[in-house]
Amino acid sequence: MEFAEQIMLDLINQGYSGNDLREHFKEEVSQIRPAMEAILAEAKRVAVSESGYASYGDVFNEVEE
């Protein structure tokens, strides 16, 4: 399923329709590219060791035994 389709279904499930649906959809879609660019930039920083990384355990607060 494409991002746009997922966004549309989510907005419909939230009760939006008509012009409200269109406006919220445009707003949500406009945020995809900046979010992906931020993810890619962070991945590049981690790849060249400019920032740390988080392990699965770090993210989910798991204690290693």
Q: What's the Cα-to-Cα distance from 41 to each of 8, 9, 32, 47, 52, rounded to whole Å?
A: 27, 29, 14, 10, 13
Which domain does 10 fall in, by range? 3-59
| Domain presence at residue 50 | yes
Q: What pLDDT sits at residue 64?
A: 56
17, with CB counted inside 10 A (0-12, 13-18, 19+), is exposed
> Domain tally for the chain?
1
Give 33's DSSP letter. H
* Ramachandran angles phi, psi of 18, nearest 5°: 60, -140
Each residue's pLDDT, cut to its tens digit, for the chain (65 residues) gives: 788 899 999 999 999 999 999 999 999 999 999 999 999 998 888 777 766 667 778 778 766 55
In a domain, 17, yes or no: yes
65 lies in a domain? no
